[in-house]
Structure 1
């Protein structure tokens, strides 16, 4: 199975495609059934309720999904009744839109799912603007929306009850897939034809994806009581396999070398293409495992013989070592050791398919233990009042949304009288995001997707005069549109626009007129959203990068301290270490994501992008080398290698350099203690030159971070 077919299998067996199919069924079925009985308008209202509730059904623990859908149901009912009352006056509608757009957006203070609940309520208001129900029909209309929402929620919960482990398998499979792609990118570092700077840029970007997938899988696995308290082997195998993937990712990130020197020293030996080939083969094997986990089927290997390929590479390096100066191939041997460990861990992940793996392992409750690894978001009313200040990004975005929605409403009512002019307001609510970079990206994708979707829909209607064929294409486009809505927004807009044109053709409307109106409304809405994002209380990513850098420095400082503790002979509980490691990954990914967002903003708003990229890369190199040293010490436990005074000085200097950098970025914060408590253990000279070299390298990287941070804080 090649990479293209693997990607297709990942898509068609993934949670996003499953959500797309479920959403399509939930929307189409009520409208089709009631249309057969001559009540298409009632069916459309029921489908609207399903559409609104589907917005909150994002991947996550079943209890959170259920609570989100129930909250959306309540808000949809409330907004339906309010809109019926406000629709008696255009001034009343304007007041309602202004107030609700602000309050619904403020729900973001309680997290993304709460924000989705607000989006569902606001979406219902916008859709009701097409045909606001009269006061006498307010309660029946709200009842139909409730029926549609309950229909969708019931369908989603029944699907989970029928296959309770399916979402967890999909989340774990996607996590493995992201790590496989990260590993495949590491192969590029052994290709002298590629630019190392671009290789690092791609690697750091993929680090963001890996962190997102790990957080999603961790959130689902560790918050689902049925899994963490599982008494059979299925749930335990899911949890154990996820823990193994995190350890594998640590080993992959720990594989850092001076790739410039490696290319220069061994570029002509012919070994580097073989190393890169083995890495790609390991990544492909890992990708196959991810597909098998996600599909819920046994792994149909055997795949390449990675052990034999590793043995051949070892023989070639040994032959090169025999004819070279002592120590010249030491870095190649380190690469070999690391690849052998990665192959072993990939084999451990393959044990996921062994149902007897945990059959004899007791299953005590582990909910409290796993709960430490997931973030908790409490619904507290005081959080809302605390964010009523311009220093709050959520408050600024809420005010921005309110003003933009009011402008869109005035434009739609006063300046543009299209049949579906509520599309302008809908475009604004969807396009306007808290960060300008995402708003700009969504606007571009919306415009391009609308034009492409209009052309695609028109071509389908011209080429397929048969009703059955058009309906089949409509269903397919709906599934694709809802499958890509959280991953590839451009694809969502293309298929959404195309299926809307086909749907309106069934209603007897001219698709050319609908396409023209759709494009016009989209351009007006995007212009309003873009202007609001640029001019109304913007907060550029460059203004927030210092916070992300400081968080990354704190995480690496704590990571470095645990290394010092290990070198001093003090043990660290495994869970404490994993929490430190998780914080390093999360803070590094957040920093990389913020840097990527900054690059999409206007150049005049970017602050030293070259130095910022250097800081991001150095932060990644630092955490990778700390992880490499920690892994070496864990394998050497309980014995501790000799720790000479030279090594202690290097480690102390590295910590001091990071603390100095952190103090520059957070001058108002209290300075952390510099004492590492290394004592005088291992005072003699160390025979482990590798350890001293690695500690010296940590000192150098920390110093480089200090140099770059000093430049970055200059105004």
Structure 2
């Protein structure tokens, strides 16, 4: 229990919650001593409204984002207060402002959170109107509160500059460990391989998000990496984890076939499975040591496990003779394990010894190209001003729902209409599934919070005790909002009721209206997401599928260039590989969201999953070919190889054309099939002649080229088959 509490208080969510609580509560406590509670409260509001924009990055981008958020918060508050006295101005301007703020989300995560701060400011300002010179004073205090939060955030970052990165890296290790464990499960003779594949796909989605967070904090400050052993170490571990994942993805085995082959010698496969599990456990162990700030000590002897597997292969050879085909399969498994352990040893060394520039040599080249550019062109906003844009649909939906909230507030005698608006802003999300989930959690959390608060206030009368509990609930509310929204909503409600109880003696009325307003706001958000330009996943699905195919096609193009030109792996290759991983993950995430939608809206769900699996399998095959080319001295690529690559590219382009409703731009399938049949035969004949010539003078070279020829031809055949299946599945979509 002590360890769990320690992990909780050391988490990123708790640290952020502590930052905003400290920045908001401290001015209130200090100024209250001088009878300036309202001044302190205004500063606290400014801090809380700036807080959402505090997302991890380097100091420059983080500070810029927070200052921008505080400025937008002030402008929104100023506009709302100035126009409120003239309803004909207030409502139209507020509605336009809501739409504009929603639309700036097209510029990415940071812009989305800045937008959220602005939306919260508008809704809150509509419930706390000031007049005359009080408006200017209030806005300046809000702005000052934003500065206080910015300074507090930077101070906390200075006190523990690397902790967020360490925790994200620990999460990356943990997720990679889970992925590797699923690969171990595949070796169970009765394994449900479809279910395991689905779990791996969903893990890939989580890994993509985690990788983007790590790129943001590690690569943006990579210019300082040369002066910091800690920075080099974390960057080295991150890159090594990417390589572990790529190697795992690039190496697939026909488990059913292998179980049949070695049914009479199960020990050889069970030994390998044990090795696979220990690889996963090692990554998990490293993750825990990093998370708990403890020195890493290796628990699993991976090299010993590798020796056991090697010995099992030798025992099999002795018992069965040199069954070349079977031993070749086992040797491939051994080589994969050797490479994987080699990369994990790099990670282990990073946590046990100092990392030098030599360790990073060649690995930190052009890292900035892996980051999304930090610029906000106007044409991006213009391109999204159509119903085909998910953000545009959300902006319309949110704007109209806020307008309905204002109308309901005007028609009925509700105490705090802005609570309805706040609930709408906080709950409404682009997807139906998440909005539905948050609506339910918000209502349950609010009701539960009101019951708890009412019960506590019935036995508590000491203002100091109530204030301490309010601060505690604020801290826990902000912490749990990102972890468990229902629990977070419960603590936030208790905090709000406690604050109102200190300001307003009639707290029962506050509780009553809090529940009513929350139910109305949650209900409006849920209904709006169903009826007002809903962004059902089947509408966006072709876009995700197309981008996934394009990502794989671009990756294949880079692999072909590398195979033809040889030499060092270019940055463009690594960027294409990263984008392919991200796009396949985005497609899987889209499928995940679809499963949360009403059954009537889960159109083409089977095809969506089929295409997600096909694109993931294609990515695996591409990674296999790319990994082989990088780790072997390959021979010159023949014309036949390039023709087959072009045929696969043509298939992928054909699938993209189908999704774009441009089928007539592609060549006929019959022409492709006839040409490929001839080319595969040609490729085999050319390689056979080349290898026979080599064999006269170099027996070892012959064996290596034979292995290369076999692997490359098999991959080409498999790539072509996959690309044809993608074409057929795209036609059926």
Report the TM-score when normalising by structure 2: 0.86
Moved more, 547-556 or 439-448: 439-448
Name the residue aligned to 2:696.
none
Q: Displacement, 1:426?
A: 0.7
1:665 aligns with 2:659: yes
Q: Which residue does 1:703 correspond to in 2?
A: 721
1:479 maps to which residue?
475
Q: Is 1:349 aligned with 2:347?
A: yes
Compared CA separation, residues 77 and 568, structure 1 to 2 (3 A): closer
Residue 406 of structure 2 corresponds to 409
Give ranges in structure 2 of 5+ residues lacking alignment.
Answer: 692-702
Q: Once the 2 structures are TM-superposed, how far is the Cα of residue 621 of structure 1 from its aligned partner?
A: 1.9
| Pairing of 1:391-402 with structure 2 (within 5 A) | 391-402=388-399
1:692 is matched with 710
Matches within 5 A, 1:581-596: 581-596=577-592
Between the two proteins, the alignment pairs up a number of residues equal to 706
- The alignment status of 1:52 with 2:46, answered yes or no, reads no
- In 2, Cα distance between equivalents of 1:500 and 1:334: 62
Contact 1:233 1:356 in 2 (8 A): yes
- Give distance in 1, aligned partners of 2:86 and 2:307: 79
Q: Deviations over 1:415-464 (max 9, x none)?
A: 2x333332111111122223333323332332343344445555665687
CA separation in 2, counterparts of 1:443 and 1:312? 54
User: Judging changes above 3 Å, is the alpha-carbon distance between structure 1 residues 581 and 380 closer, same or farther for their aligned structure 2 residues?
Assistant: closer
SS of 2:689's equivalent in the other structure is: coil
The aligned counterpart of 1:424 is 420
- How far, CA to CA, are the matches of 1:309 and 1:106 in structure 2? 55
| Counterpart pick for 2:517 among 499, 521, 537 | 521
Residues 1:612 and 2:608 are matched in the alignment: yes
On the 8 A contact 2:654/2:727 being kept in 1, the answer is no
Task: Indicate the residue corresponding to 2:116 in structure 1.
Answer: 119
Q: What does 1:127-526 correspond to in 2, within 5 Å?
A: 127-224=124-221, 227-228=224-225, 230-263=226-259, 265=261, 269=266, 274-293=271-290, 297=293, 299-324=295-320, 326=323, 327-328=325-326, 330-353=328-351, 356-358=354-356, 369-415=366-412, 417-457=413-453, 473-507=469-503, 509=505, 513-526=509-522
More moved, 390-399 vs 134-143: 390-399
**1:517 and 1:279 mapped to 2: Cα distance?**
57
Q: Distance in 2 between matches of 1:8 and 1:179?
A: 25
Distance 1:65 1:485, change over 3 A: farther
What is the 5 A alignment of 1:59-78? 59-78=56-75
Tell me which of 569, 573, 584 is aligned to 2:569.
573
Aligned to 2:375, what secondary structure does the other structure show? Answer: coil
The counterpart of 2:626, out of the listed 624, 630, 655, is 630
Instruction: Give the conservation status (yes or no) of the 8 Å contact 1:644–1:685.
Output: no
The answer on 1:32 being equivalent to 2:29 is yes
Unaligned runs of 5+ in 1: none
Cα drift, residue 526 of structure 1: 1.7
Mean CA deviation greater in 166-175 or 266-275: 266-275
How far apart, in 1, do the equivalents of 2:560 and 2:6 lie?
Answer: 45
Q: Which residue of 2 aligns with 1:546?
A: 542
Higher helix share: 2
Return the alpha-carbon distance in structure 2 between the equivalents of residues 661 and 596 of structure 1: 23
Output the CA distance in 1 between the equivalents of 2:363 and 2:195.
46
**1:99, distance to aligned residue in structure 2 (A):** 1.9
> Retained in 2: the 8 A contact 1:405–1:428?
yes
Q: What does the per-residue CA deviation read over 1:252-284, in whole Å, with 9 as the maximum and x for residues that have no partner? A: 222322234345555782565554443333223
- Cα 1:92–1:696 shift into 2, 3 Å: same
Contact 2:232/2:360, CA 8 A, preserved across alignment: no
Structure 1 residue matching 2:528: 3-state secondary structure: helix
SS at match of 1:328: helix
Write the deviation string for residues 455-495 of structure 1: whole angstroms up to 9, x where unpaired.
55556656878776665554444333323434543442233
CA gap 1:316/1:473 in 2 versus in 1, 3 angstroms: farther
Secondary structure at the counterpart of residue 323 of structure 1: helix
- How far did 1:584 drift? 1.4
Alpha-carbon deviations, 1:488-516, whole Å to 9, x = none? 43442233234334444444556655444
> 2:29 & 2:270 partners in 1: Cα distance?
58
The secondary structure found in structure 2 opposite 1:59 is: coil
In structure 2, relative to structure 1, the CA distance for the partners of 1:406 and 1:575 (3 Å cut) is: same
- Alignment partners' CA distance in 1, 2:115 and 2:443: 25
Deviates more, 1:598-607 or 1:99-108: 598-607
Cα pair distance change 1:204/1:511, threshold 3 Å: farther
TM-score, scaled to structure 1 = 0.88
In structure 1, C-alpha distance between the alignment counterparts of 2:52 and 2:267, rounded to whole Å: 53
Measure the CA separation in 2 of the matches of 1:264 and 1:26: 64
- C-alpha change, 1:553 and 1:72, in structure 2 (3 Å) is same
Q: Answer whether contact 2:548 2:580 (CA < 8 A) is retained.
A: yes
In 1: Cα distance, 2:667 partner to 2:472 partner: 58
Q: Is the contact between residue 232 and residue 356 of structure 2 (CA under 8 Å) also seen in structure 1? A: yes
Aligned residues of 1:6 and 1:291 also touching (Cα < 8 A): no
Distance 1:5 1:613 in 2: 43
Indicate the SS of the match to 1:283: helix
CA distance in structure 2 between the aligned counterparts of 1:354 and 1:378, rounded to whole angstroms: 40
Q: Which moved more, 1:192-201 or 1:486-495?
A: 486-495
Report if the CA contact (8 A) 1:191-1:272 is conserved. no
Aligned residues of 2:232 and 2:355 also touching (Cα < 8 A): no
With over 3 angstroms needed to count, the CA separation of the structure-2 counterparts of 1:671 and 1:162, relative to structure 1, is farther
**Cα distance in 2 for residues equivalent to 1:9 and 1:587:** 37
User: Structure 1 residues 562 and 117, CA, compared in 2 at 3 Å: closer, same or farther?
Assistant: closer
Distance in 1 separating the partners of 2:608 and 2:542: 10
| Cα distance change of structure 1 residues 364 and 617 upon mapping to structure 2, 3 Å threshold | closer
Distance in 1, matches of 2:491 and 2:526, equals: 23
Query: Distance in 2 between the 1:569 and 1:377 partners?
Result: 33
> Structure 1's 671 and 214: CA in aligned 2 closer, same or farther, altered over 3 A?
farther
Q: Mark the CA change 1:13 to 1:344 in structure 2 (over 3 Å): closer, same or farther.
A: farther
**CA 1:226–1:378: 2 relative to 1, 3 Å:** same
**Counterpart of 1:256 in 2: which secondary structure?**
coil
Residue-by-residue CA offset, 1:576-622 (whole Å, 9 max, x unaligned): 32112111111111111111112222222223212221221222122
